[in-house]
Amino acid sequence: MMELTRKGEYAIRGIVYLAQQPPGKIALISEIAEATDVPQTFLAKIFQSFAKLGLVQSFRGTGGGFLLGRSPSQITLRQVVEAVEGPIMPNRCLIDEGMCDRSARCLVHPVWRKVQGEVGKILDDVTLEDLAKT
């Protein structure tokens, strides 16, 4: 993943909105969708992925909705992006070392590894707490 898909963009919008809510306030999926201009059914699927990973808590029934699964300072942008986009991959050769028969002697392979590491570090350094403030 080098280019963020629409799914990734929607995921970030939705969870940042959640991080901007007062602590303990449960937000309805319809409210989040409307506030972030994201289709509700699409956002519901994204939030199901978040719930499986503990990024959000899901509450069913009357008064149901979503709440951050932990403090906004404990959720990184990388966790959010990778929850919906999968691991950061600047080149397909990093997905599976055996995918390319040149990886052992490829001069660019270490560069892709470095790019992957740097992008990961940048996304790890940004939390929902940071994003909710701006």
Given a contact cutoff of 8 angstroms between Cβ atoms, the answer to whether 92 and 116 are in contact is: no
| Average pLDDT, integer, range 106-131 | 89
Residue 86 falls inside a structural domain: yes
Given a contact cutoff of 8 angstroms between Cβ atoms, the answer to whether 56 and 46 are in contact is: no
**How many percent of the chain have pLDDT more than 90?**
63
Q: What is the per-residue pLDDT for 126?
A: 96
Residue 22 falls inside a structural domain: yes
Given a contact cutoff of 8 angstroms between Cβ atoms, the answer to whether 91 and 112 are in contact is: yes
Residue 108 lies in domain? 6-133
- The pTM (predicted TM-score) of the whole model is 0.85
Q: What is the domain-level CATH number for residue 72?
A: 1.10.10.10
pLDDT of 53 above 80? yes
Band the pLDDT of 73: cuts 50, 70, 90: very high
Residue 1 falls inside a structural domain: no
What total of structural domains would you count in the chain? Answer: 1
Residue 19 falls inside a structural domain: yes
